Amino acid sequence: MSVATKLRSPVCEPRAILGPGGNRVRVSEDLKRKNEGMKKPQRPPRKPVSEMPETAVRNNVSVDSSCSSDSSSSGSLAKTVSSRRTVRRNGLRPRPVKVVPDGVEVGAVSPKLSGPPKRCDWITPNSDPVYTSFHDEEWGIPVYDDRKLFELLVFSQALAELSWPAILNKRDIFRKLLDNFDPSSVAQFTEKKLLSLKVNGVLLLSETKLRAIVENAKQVLKVQQEFGSFNNYCWSFVNHKPLRNGYRYARQVPVKSPKAEVISKDLMQRGFRCVGPTVIYSFMQVAGIVNDHLLACFRYQECSTVNATKDSKPKIEDTERLIEAVEKTRLS
């Protein structure tokens, strides 16, 4: 063997080539062809929304997610997805959504019920309906009629023996026996007439109170001659303008006031009877001379906005005479 033959390198097979994924031999052509045969077949192209069947649109059926998003932009398609297709998340069932029809206001679906009006604390659900109506319609309203003022003065005196509900339930009897509270008529009552003012055999009030009513009727006639009306006399003490206290709680409402003490003293100087400061303050409250409805009561603002009638305006000379009389009372 020659040297050339010895140095001739043996014939070797070609080396494998590294693929891009690492030290892996490239897959043979047969394996490639096998994998290509196992590929997932492609889906047919989707139809556009315009080519969808009309029945699917009318029945609110979504073909797929893209079609559902397209349908939300169309007024003829469904507004919400069916609850059966809703997927639970975190193990909780989603809360149903209340759909309000178009054109209906939310307030009309669930209207807010308003409760009873707020009244003064001394009016409760168990109060006599007559007393409640009296609070809502009369108590605290400014009064400018002489007969009405005389009636309220009598009722304020009767509070020493009767309650407001008892007085109101007998109001028609009071008016009948006292000639509708006409001062000129009551002033003519005799002792016999006075003792005949009975209800079921019982005097309407005590003899002391009945005699005081007759005497006060006589004094009202004198006040009318001096001041033109009992109305002018009563309202002149507050400059013909109701007083407003604005209390928040019933315990703050007093039983008398300095103004009531002044009026009481002047009335007693004139010959009125049973007209202490407590009686006069009750009279001021019920006649609207002072507004003692609580601030939270719905009647507080209503009574504050009531204005005096034109014929109730006082004369200047009447006011001057009243001021002089009050000054004399203070000095005495």
Q: 93: pLDDT confidence band, cut at 50, 70 and 90?
A: low
Percent share of the chain, pLDDT over 90: 54
What is the predicted pLDDT for the residue at 235? 97
Q: What is the mean pLDDT of the chain?
A: 75
Q: What is the pLDDT of residues 106-149, one digit of tens each?
A: 444 444 446 678 999 999 999 999 999 999 999 999 999 999 99
Q: Residue 38: pLDDT above 60? A: no
Q: Residue 241: pLDDT above 90? A: yes
What is the predicted pLDDT for the residue at 117? 85
Weakest mean pLDDT among 15-29, 35-49, 192-206, 292-306:
15-29
Q: Which of 22-36, 280-294, 304-318 has the highest mean pLDDT?
A: 280-294
Weakest mean pLDDT among 134-143, 227-236, 296-305:
296-305
What is the predicted pLDDT for the residue at 263? 97
Q: Residue 222: pLDDT above 50? A: yes
Return contacts of 225-230, CB within 8 angstroms, 24+ apart: 226/321, 227/318, 227/321, 227/322, 228/314, 228/315, 228/318, 229/146, 230/146, 230/149, 230/150, 230/183
Q: Residue 17: pLDDT above 50? A: no
Weakest mean pLDDT among 39-43, 48-52, 289-293:
48-52
- Residue spans of the domains in the chain: they are 129-331
Which parts of the chain fold into alpha helices (H)? 3-7, 29-37, 54-58, 65-72, 106-109, 129-137, 146-158, 164-169, 171-177, 183-186, 191-195, 207-227, 230-236, 258-269, 277-286, 298-304, 316-331
Q: Residue 97: pLDDT above 80? A: no
Q: Residue 77: pLDDT above 70? A: no
Q: What is the mean pLDDT of residues 199-228?
A: 95
**Is 12 labelled a binding residue?**
no
**Is 240 labelled a binding residue?**
no
Q: 70: pLDDT confidence band, cut at 50, 70 and 90?
A: very low
What is the predicted pLDDT for the residue at 115? 66
**Is 293 labelled a binding residue?**
yes
What is the predicted pLDDT for the residue at 166? 96
Q: What is the mean pLDDT of residues 198-225?
A: 95
What is the predicted pLDDT for the residue at 116? 75
What is the predicted pLDDT for the residue at 258? 96
What is the predicted pLDDT for the residue at 28? 53
Q: Residue 80: pLDDT above 70? A: no
What is the predicted pLDDT for the residue at 303? 87
Task: List the CATH code of the domain at 129-331.
Answer: 1.10.340.30
List all residues 6 or more positions away from 304 whose beta carbon is below 8 Å from its beta carbon: 242, 244, 291
Q: Residue 24: pLDDT above 60? A: no
